[in-house]
Amino acid sequence: MEPFYTALNAVKVLRSSVGHVFDTLGNGVRADHGEENKDNKFLLELQELLSTVNVNLRELDQAVNSLTPPPGPFNLGNSTYLTQECTLERQALYADLVKSYKWTDKVHEYGNLAVTLFSQNSLKRSYINSSSKRRRMQTSSHNVPPQTVDQVIGNIDRQFSDMSVTIQRPYATNAVLQITLGRILKAMAAFKGLMIEWVVVKGHGETLDLWTESRHKVFRKVTENAHAAMLHFYSPTMPELAVRSFMTWFHSYNTLFSDPCKRCGNHLHSALPPTWRDFRTLEPFHEECKP
């Protein structure tokens, strides 16, 4: 790379000295050449400049000679056909093409990094992850007939008098639950078989859907904790127990606005009620007071 820069620099120096010659030539005889012998002085100056050009040219020659030519023509693939393009606006495509090649390369690189990272993730729950796991996972929580899901959810619905759970199936066989917890909050939970895939918690005045978050901070916080809980309770071998544990945990939010924090004893901390429920004891804690 070093000789290449030297050569480029030599080109720059040569251009500059040639420019100087034409500058001087264009200006002609100047006042600072004086009156006496002014033509001679002018010619001498020009000669000097021209010899500088000569020296610079020789330097460029040397620099170019020390370069090693590339072993063969560059392989440009299909992009070589762009040179045969005669419409002006399409000739500019080459730069865009190079940019998109670079972009694709980057996507490849990031994709590979992401695969490495995700394959280390122990919370991987989807059976489309790798072919080796497919058979084992399919016989567990994903592949459950709708009747079984209905039955499990129905039992949970009957278990808690102040929590109503209704099942919808907007996306073919997989269930989406609409949960109403007293007058405290409502939630939507998307299932894949008997596995909870997604939960959104909202207030009573809000429209309930799977894609938008609540406009209230307290329900956004509960949503976040519900995500942690759905991962915590997830069990591929005992899917029914996992759902039941999650729902029991979720039901403990019926005292969201009435129970004080187990640790500090206050109702509010940073203007929020205790939004965390212990996974085992179901005791309420503020985010900051979590054990």
Residues 161-200 close enough to bind Zn ion by CB under 5 A: none
**Beta carbon of residue 278, minimum distance to Zn ion (angstroms, whole number):** 13
- Tokens 């997830």 belong to which residue? 234
**Beta carbon of residue 180, minimum distance to Zn ion (angstroms, whole number):** 27
**Beta carbon of residue 291, minimum distance to Zn ion (angstroms, whole number):** 11
Determine how many CB atoms are found less than 10 A away from the CB of residue 12. 12
Question: Which lies closer to Zn ion via its Cβ, residue 41 or residue 269?
Answer: 269
**Beta carbon of residue 283, minimum distance to Zn ion (angstroms, whole number):** 11
Structure tokens, 42:
């002018």
Question: Which lies closer to Zn ion via its Cβ, residue 125 or residue 290?
Answer: 290
From 249, 135, 139, select the one nearest 201 (Cα to Cα).
249
Mask for 218-257, x = binds Zn ion (CB under 5 A): ----------------------------------------
Question: Which lies closer to Zn ion via its Cβ, residue 236 or residue 260?
Answer: 260
Question: Which lies closer to Zn ion via its Cβ, residue 251 or residue 286?
Answer: 286
- Tokens 């969201």 belong to which residue? 256
**Beta carbon of residue 259, minimum distance to Zn ion (angstroms, whole number):** 11
> Total residues at the site for Zn ion (CB under 5 A)?
6
**Beta carbon of residue 225, minimum distance to Zn ion (angstroms, whole number):** 14
Q: Is the dihedral of CA 55, 56, 60, 66 positive or negative?
A: positive
Question: Which lies closer to Zn ion via its Cβ, residue 207 or residue 270?
Answer: 270
Q: Pairing state of beta strands 195-202 and 276-277?
A: unpaired
Measured between alpha carbons, how far is 190 from 198 in angstroms, rounded to an integer?
5
DSSP string covering 29-82, please?
S-GGG-STTHHHHHHHHHHHHHHHHHHHHHHHHHHHHTSPPPSS----GGGGGG
Question: Which lies closer to Zn ion via its Cβ, residue 137 or residue 222?
Answer: 222
**Beta carbon of residue 224, minimum distance to Zn ion (angstroms, whole number):** 17
- Phi, psi of 166, rounded to the nearest 5 degrees: -120, 145
Question: Which lies closer to Zn ion via its Cβ, residue 190 or residue 289?
Answer: 289
Structure tokens, 252:
């403990």
Mask for 250-289, x = binds Zn ion (CB under 5 A): -----------x-xx----x----------------x--x
Q: Which residue is nearest to Zn ion (CB)?
A: 261
Mask for 18-47, x = binds Zn ion (CB under 5 A): ------------------------------
Alpha-helical regions (H) of the chain: 2-27, 38-65, 88-91, 93-119, 131-138, 146-159, 217-233, 239-251
Say if residues 38 and 29 touch (Cβ distance below 8 Å): yes
Site residues for Zn ion per CB under 5 A: 261, 263-264, 269, 286, 289
